[in-house]
Amino acid sequence: MVHALTIDSTSFPAAKVTNIGQIVNLALPLAMTGAGLIFLVITLKAAFDILTHGDNPDALKKAYAAITTAVLGLIIVVVSFLAIRLLGAVLNTNIIPK
């Protein structure tokens, strides 16, 4: 006996995705949220290191470097987000997240 599976949007949720724009609309806000949380954790840890290792110059250099790296990473993520929005607007596609 052979059973056939029909793939439709009610039985298979991935069938609701019809183009790459919908995938980007789902993934981009999640990536932005993840980047913001990582930035927050790194910044808080570096600030704690500055407060607790105030007399150790090597630890201070590492903490300041961590803050600099976190800020640069967040800037890169925001610029790439804006570039994707600009690309979506120029190409008139549905890549612009709401």
> Over the stretch 56-87, which tens digit does the pLDDT of each residue have?
899 999 999 999 999 999 999 999 988 888 88
40 has a pLDDT exceeding 70: yes
Predicted pLDDT at 8: 67
Q: Which domain holds residue 71?
A: 19-91
48 has a pLDDT exceeding 90: yes
Q: Alpha-carbon distance 89 to 73, whole Å?
A: 24
Q: Alpha-carbon distance 74 to 35, whole Å?
A: 7
Q: What is the pTM of this model?
A: 0.69
Domain presence at residue 11: no
Domain presence at residue 47: yes
Predicted pLDDT at 9: 65
- For the chain, the domain total comes to 1
Domain presence at residue 42: yes
Higher pLDDT, 55 or 26: 55
Domain presence at residue 76: yes
Predicted pLDDT at 52: 93
- pLDDT > 90 fraction of the chain, expressed in percent and rounded: 43
Q: Give the pLDDT mean for 5-27.
A: 72
Domain presence at residue 7: no
Taking only Cα atoms into account, the Rg of the chain, rounded to an integer number of angstroms, comes to 21
